[in-house]
Chains A and B, each alone.
Chain A
Amino acid sequence: MRNGLFWLGALGICAVVSLNGCVKANIVFGQDQVDHGLTNIVKIDTVTPVMSTLFVDSIPTSGRGIAMMGGYDDAYFGSIQPRSYFELAPPPLTSLDPQAVFDSLVLYIVPNKYYYGDTTQPLDIYAEQIQSQMLFPPSQFQFYNNDSFAVRPTPLGHIRHLIDPHNPDTVYIHLDSTLGQTLFGLMRAASQTITDPSQFLSFFPGIRISSGYGPNPQIVYGYKDSIQVKLWYHTPDLLRSINAMTFKFADPSYQFMEVRNKPLPPLDQFRRGFNSVVEQIYSTAPGFDHQAFVNPLLGYVGTKVEFPSIRDLYLQDTTLRIITKAQLIVRPQVPSFSTQFQLPPSLIMDATDLNNQPGPQVSTGVLSLDYGGSDTQYTFDITALLQSELNDPSAVINKKGVIILPSQANYFSQINRLVLGDRFFQSPYTSPNYFQTQVVIYYVSTKNTL
């Protein structure tokens, strides 16, 4: 009987405990139901980045394999004319048939598909002989974008050519036959001018390739630095053998690109002739109208962005704990870019400080294009940077910030411009606020006390 009682009771209790087919409703409420006070993710875009244009007087362009020709009148940067200088090396001494006859001297230029401007315009291409041997200035080992060497008054050759930018053909320029005959004669005579490279450079210091001195063609093309000059000749035998001697581009350190520029206001405020000094003018300076500029080949090496008010976040919100995401969004101004005048395909962001020298890379800008719209922008992840500056009281004093500049691959090889508006820039062409630089920050806030 007692066992029966025990099991009866135990069974009842087990039945109670085992009734656990539980379902828990997940209630979906409106905003009012819960107190958001404990932890929040807050998004703000009120931090004001301070922007400035950094300018250096000269940019080293020798030994970088860059060569451009053409010119255009930039609405922001003024007239721009790149022209490139080359030294050529003589071919190996060749034993010529006594009957051999000179035919022509031809310069070969191979476009590299880079262009900037109106590709429907034909381009005048001039090959000019450099007057005297190109030598580095004292204590220097590079040529710069503002270096120049005189050329003989009469061009060696000229062609007016329409280049298909996407499938470009090699450009041929017939050079002065007199020069060709002279070179052919020196070769036939096995002259020391040919066999001794230094004597050859004294005889023929090099070639400058430019677009001449007329109005700008409104187009710039890039081409490979591997130009060559071929001296064509033949033997008047039955086979009429045609041969060529090739004068090749030889020493990259003596190949450079000069970029002639007549700056427009406000960029003419930058002083020229101060080597190794980075000049800085803030976007709020008179005439700049809240704009900053980038075009490294002209000396505008980057746009510096500082965040002097970042630590004010702590004052505005003492519950701030950590920045989970921060983005710097820079928006190129319309009409500074188009399908002809394309933007730098990628930008990078380097850390910098009081000296405005680029430091380690911080971030890469992701470009989203919206031609004709207002959503063209580069987006940089600056989470770690802002978190670091947030925790660094010396960041403001040391003017820590970042430099926005084209990526290494494009820094010297493209002349694409970048014109940015700061946070207070008012566009005269579209909605005034469209092209302002913006900092978007997401941070976690938690209560300081419970």
Chain B
Amino acid sequence: MELRIYLILFALVCSGLVQAQNTSSPYSIYGIGTIETGAYNRTTGMGSTGLAYRSDNNIIQNNPASYTALIQQMFHIEIGGRGDFSNYTGAYFSSTVGSSQVSNDFTVTRVAFATKVTKWWGAGAGLMPYSKMDYNFSNVQPLGPQGEFASATYEGSGGIHKAYWGNAFSLGKHLSVGVNTSFLFGALQSQQTIIAPTANASLLTTRNLYLRNAVFDFGAQYYTHFGAAKQWGLTLGATYTPIQPLYAEDSLTVLDNNIPLPNSNSLLDRNVFKLPNGYGGGIALSKESLMRRFTFLADFSRQLWTPLGYAGTGYNLSNSDRYSAGIEVSRKRNIFNTPVEHIYYQLGGYYQKTYLTYQGYPVLEWGASVGIGVNPWRYPQWGYHIALEGGTTANYEEGALKENFVRLSITIHYWDRWFTRGRKVL
């Protein structure tokens, strides 16, 4: 029975992961696309604030050190999905095609497994997006100084996926350290179609950028309780990502009227793209009573892109910063005289300066989120988490494209016993 569940879940996840992305993310044309900062787990309702978050029942991959918080001998599966509803505004829309354009999309974004193998060792694995490229542009391309133009469309798709295996180890009663060993892989495909009837040309340019490498990121959490009856809990979290290479195979193919260009129909380059140094810190302060817990969290993280010096026409990649905070109220219910979390409510927000600076202005994203999680008391092995996030991606350039989005995230959690050797723990 369990095997059947796992197989079906896996199949559904795989089918979801290959769904075409339809949300147009205009700024994803640059760099390696839009780097995902959402966690798509329990912390999504708190602005994905979770570097110092520890959960005994959910997989918090924000900081690999958190796996030691899981209940021993439980095996956890989580699947996260996301629906995007975006509205685009900008100077162009107001002057030509109306006030805005809309896109929507739903994709499965994350699948994760975790367990606490021993009292001091927690482990997790999963697959989730690292970055995504997804855009669809139209414009006109000048053919020369004489004012002649061709119509051009630019489409980008694909992304970098992150398959990770994390291990966390308890060092004493208050400290946990962890490392995520990830394999980043994926292809970014950019297609440019230029149709110029006056030039007898119909060009289809396809650039495929294949990226891959194993990368590491490290985390640590210090946690303690204090106060009367130790109702107060404090967790300090930190993460660090060293500068690491991402091996890139870049190919360019150009067809003119469906015929490869005779002189150079395919270019191939091999490069090394570097992922930057990154660090982050977070704090979680909680107050817990018998049937209720209140938690406040705050995170800060930075990626040092500026020293890597990546730049292109009109843009460059610069240091990115992310600030987020959230609160969570969790209520428990007695099951067989054991208080078990039944429902929780979340509120959060974030502000981030992305790694993209466009026309001299950094591209910013800010948003707020609310979340709710339910562990049905009749089916305590299942948990559902829904978060609604609203935000904006824009920069301060006058008339710049602004994306207002509403994002619905759903995470489904399932746990079962693992390596119990006949002992029941719940």
Contact = CB atoms under 8 A, between A and B. Distances in A.
B143 A16 contact: no
Given A28-B96, A29-B139, A442-B143, A450 B207 contact: yes
Interface string A14-31: 101101111111111111
A32 B267 CA distance: 25
B55 interface: no
Q: Which of A2, A6, A33, A447 has the most CB of B within 10 A?
A: A33
B9 A13 contact: yes
A383 B199 CA distance: 10
A383 B146 CA distance: 20
Given A12-B412, A321-B254, A26 B138 contact: yes
Contact of B313 (A24, A37, A325, A450): A37
A40 to B, nearest CB: 7
Nearest to B413: A9
Contact of A322 (B22, B81, B250, B263): B263
B136 A24 contact: yes
A31 B139 contact: yes
A413 B192 CA distance: 52
B321 interface: no
B199 A28 contact: no
B314 A32 contact: yes
B103 A6 contact: no
Given A29-B137, A43-B148, A446-B254, A14 B201 contact: no
Contacts of A41: 141, 143, 150, 194, 196, 199, 201, 203
Nearest to B15: A17
B143 A43 contact: yes
Interface in B325-343: none
B247 interface: no
A27 B379 contact: no
A40 B135 CA distance: 20
Interface string B142-174: 111010101011100000000000000000000
A449 B269 contact: yes
A38 B313 contact: no
A442 B86 contact: no
Contact of A25 (B12, B102, B251): B102
A322 B256 contact: yes
Nearest to A2: B1
A21 B104 contact: yes
B222 to A, nearest CB: 35
Nearest to B20: A22
B263 to A, nearest CB: 5
Contact of A35 (B5, B83, B313): B313
Contacts of B5: 6, 9
A238 interface: no
Contacts of B24: 24-27
Given A14-B12, A449-B267, A444 B139 contact: no
A447 B252 contact: yes
B135 A27 contact: yes
Interface string B198-209: 111101010100
Interface string B118-152: 00000000000000000111111111101010101
Nearest to A38: B205
A60 to B, nearest CB: 39
Interface in A40-61: 40-45
A446 B143 contact: no
Nearest to A16: B81
A369 interface: no
Nearest to A3: B1
A409 interface: no
B12 A324 contact: no
B186 interface: no
A33 B252 contact: no
B79 interface: yes
A22 B12 contact: no
A29 B401 contact: yes
A321 B199 contact: no
B108 interface: yes
Nearest to B205: A39
A450 B192 contact: no
A442 B198 contact: yes
Contact of A17 (B12, B20, B153, B196): B12
Given A5-B381, A22-B105, A28-B96, A324 B139 contact: no
Interface string B28-56: 01000000000000000000000000000
B207 A38 contact: yes
Interface in A288-345: 321-322, 324-325
Contacts of A12: 384, 410, 412
B16 interface: yes
Interface in B241-257: 250-252, 254, 256
Contacts of B190: 38
Given A12-B384, A322-B261, A447 B267 contact: yes
A23 B103 contact: yes
Contact of B141 (A10, A40, A44, A325): A40
Nearest to B250: A450
Contacts of A324: 196, 199-201, 256
Interface string A406-450: 000000000000000000000000000000000000101011111
A391 to B, nearest CB: 9
A6 B1 contact: yes
B115 interface: no
B254 A444 contact: yes
A13 B139 contact: no
A246 to B, nearest CB: 57
Interface string B68-105: 00000000000101010010100010001100011111
A39 B401 CA distance: 24
A75 interface: no
Contact of B142 (A24, A31, A450): A31
A6 B2 CA distance: 9
A34 B29 CA distance: 8
Interface string B344-366: 00000000000000010000000
B29 A33 contact: yes
Contacts of A32: 314, 359
B102 A17 contact: no
Contacts of A152: none
B19 interface: yes
A150 interface: no
B413 to A, nearest CB: 10
6 cross-chain pairs, A with B, having the tightest CB-CB distances, nearest first: A442-B199, A43-B144, A22-B22, A25-B103, A24-B22, A39-B205
16 contacts: A2-B1, A10-B8, A13-B9, A13-B12, A14-B12, A16-B108, A22-B103, A25-B88, A28-B139, A31-B139, A33-B137, A38-B190, A38-B207, A39-B205, A324-B256, A442-B196
Given A6-B4, A29-B92, A41-B201, 10 more contacts: A6-B5, A10-B8, A17-B108, A24-B105, A36-B141, A38-B205, A42-B144, A442-B196, A442-B199, A446-B261
Interface of B: 1, 4-5, 8-9, 12-13, 15-16, 19-20, 22-24, 26, 29, 79, 81, 83, 86, 88, 92, 96-97, 101-106, 108, 135-144, 146, 148, 150, 152-154, 190, 192, 194, 196, 198-201, 203, 205, 207, 250-252, 254, 256, 261-264, 267-269, 271, 312-314, 359, 379, 381-382, 384, 401, 410, 412, 414
